[in-house]
Amino acid sequence: MRAVVAGGAGFVGSHLCERLLAEGAEVICLDNLATGDAGNVEHLRDHPGFRFYRRDVTEHVHVGGPVDAVLHLASPASPVDYRRLPVQTLKAGSVGTMNLLGLAREKGARFVLASTSEVYGDPLVHPQREDYRGNVSPVGPRSMYDEAKRYAEALTTAYRHEFGVGTGIVRIFNTYGPRMRPHDGRAIPTFVAQALRGQPLTVAGDGTQTRSVCYVDDLVDGLVRMTRSDVPGPVNLGNPHELTVLELARLVIELCASSTPVTFVPRPPDDPSVRRPDISRARAELGWEPTVSPVDGLSATIRWFAARFGLPCPPKLAAAAGVPAGASAAPTAALPARPAPVTASHIPVPRAGDEGATTMPIPIGQAAGAED
């Protein structure tokens, strides 16, 4: 299989590239690095089946040769990013989706849209099934992301019906794991960074709002299954195990063996009160359900954060991973107090002579590119 992964240098996209390569696929990774990070795919640069192109999918997208699958994950996805880039977020969901659908139509390829649970807004039904139409404000503080994804779903459906493109839509619920940023505004990376630094964990509101968190490996498995199927969707992909935000904070504190307290801060407007997927359709049509428990997934995430930023690994987690107590697995950078300035890396991810490949230094930002 030859797959185009748009947004492939993001959090979820980079894990998806890894999985596809491991299964023998050739992967063409497109990312404009607005929120993606070339460092997320640096370890793939020498893989013979991998190509990276710095491309903005809101501009014309051309890929030479055959393509079997186009996976659209290109969008700012964290509140910090889509509020900073509202127009770019809307363009990624509209113009970017149309360009990638056009590529899939041209190549006769399977197209998979990474949509989001945010299409349900602040839901009035619980758990959320795919036939629920949502409770969303088109002019609210999250509207640039919510409405971009709702439009993208409508456009994907239209291409399926009018042009016969083999499309599939997945709605991704809260996902976490290695390569998330500590400052992207989402609960888990924020809590982990705070706990490892010994800072109070900041919980919005009274912490009774709920989230269902899915480890990235489970999510990627669902994306691959959707790609290899002919299921049109939409299909919810997420972990139906529900936690309050306060329970989540206390679990992170426990796993980090921290004594740091919880503090409460004002809750953002339009913050959903509940979030839990009904995954009956994913089970029936894809044979998919998550298998990684919150304890195991959070433990792996905490170990990665400790190693990535040169902080001591919590003793219990270090022992489970074979890391000496109080040591970091691979200290590489100090954990920043705020997003670091853009730097440059001269990683030769594209091959010289590849059509459209950029051979200039690739800027690396504090990246996410992850859905939910």
Evaluate whether residue 10 is within a structural domain: yes
Q: What count of Cα atoms within 13 Å lies in the side-chain half-sphere of residue 331? A: 9
Q: What is the pLDDT of residues 294-312, one digit of tens each?
A: 999 999 999 999 988 887 7
Domains contained in the chain, number = 1
- pLDDT value of position 286: 98
- pLDDT value of position 37: 93
The span from the CA of 368 to the CA of 242, in Å, is 24
- With tokens 């051979």, the residue in question is 359
Evaluate whether residue 353 is within a structural domain: yes
Nearest residue to 148 via CA among 124, 110, 113:
113
Domain span holding position 223: 2-364
- pLDDT value of position 320: 66
Evaluate whether residue 151 is within a structural domain: yes
257 torsion bin: left (phi>0), alpha (psi -120 to 50), beta (else): left
Phi, psi of 165 (to 5 degrees): -70, 135
Whether the CB-CB separation of 267 and 204 falls below 8 Å is answered with yes
Evaluate whether residue 369 is within a structural domain: no
215: domain CATH number is: 3.40.50.720
- pLDDT value of position 327: 41
Q: Rounded to whole angstroms, what are the CA distances from 76 to 69, 71, 79, 134? A: 22, 15, 8, 21
Evaluate whether residue 293 is within a structural domain: yes
Evaluate whether residue 372 is within a structural domain: no
**Average confidence (pLDDT) over 113-132:** 93
- pLDDT value of position 271: 79
Q: Which residues pair with 6 in a beta bridge?
A: 30, 72
From 53, 82, 120, 145, active-site residue: 145
Has 53 been annotated as catalytic? no
Evaluate whether residue 371 is within a structural domain: no
- pLDDT value of position 355: 40
**Average confidence (pLDDT) over 129-142:** 92
Evaluate whether residue 166 is within a structural domain: yes
Q: Which residues pair with 345 in a beta bridge?
A: 362
Tell me the pTM: 0.85
Q: What is the pLDDT of residues 74-85, one digit of tens each?
A: 999 988 999 999
